[in-house]
Amino acid sequence: GHKPMKIIFLVIDGVMKPGRAYWLIPHKPDGNFDPLAVAAINAICEKTGAGIVFNSTWNRSGFDRLCEIAAIEGITAPVIGVTAFPDLCDRLEAIKAWMTANGPVEAWCAMDDETMADTRCIKVNYDNGFSTQDFSNAVRLLGRLEVGEPTTTS
């Protein structure tokens, strides 16, 4: 029995790496996360006690490589896992399957540049990435930590 977790299901392209990051020269195909998106994710996880599960086409690189990329790009929030997306299922199915296998999940949200049929999915603008509204929505959906409440990282 795990204790219930809070999870952000996270896409990389269009969220951590907005469309405009592809203009950077030299382009790092396995990097170039937006530093503000990184700061936003770190802050959300700090405020809410959430961990990250990648739900991204980048999942094909494998969990260990994604943890490495996340660390290099400055993500300090805990990376807990990856879903079976894109190989086995669609985005929302992949989230549900991961929760079934790894739950219980107390609260979750998904940050994606695609629309999903769930109110916990925050649609991020692909070109510009994270907005202040996306940030507030994520914190609201995940719920702030109470003072003195242990985080998932401890």
Average pLDDT of the chain, as a whole number = 92
3-state secondary structure 81-117: EECCCCCCCCHHHHHHHHHHHHCCEEEEEEEECCCCC
Q: Would you say the C-alpha torsion 19, 117, 95, 74 has a positive or negative sign?
A: positive
Return the pLDDT at 27: 87
The radius of gyration of the chain's CA atoms, rounded to the nearest angstrom, is: 14
Residue 19 pLDDT > 50, yes or no?
A: yes
Q: pLDDT tens across 60-88, in order?
A: 999 999 999 999 999 999 999 999 999 98
**Is the peptide bond preceding residue 26 cis, with omega within 30 degrees of 0?**
yes
Residue 149 pLDDT > 90, yes or no?
A: no
Return the pLDDT at 2: 53
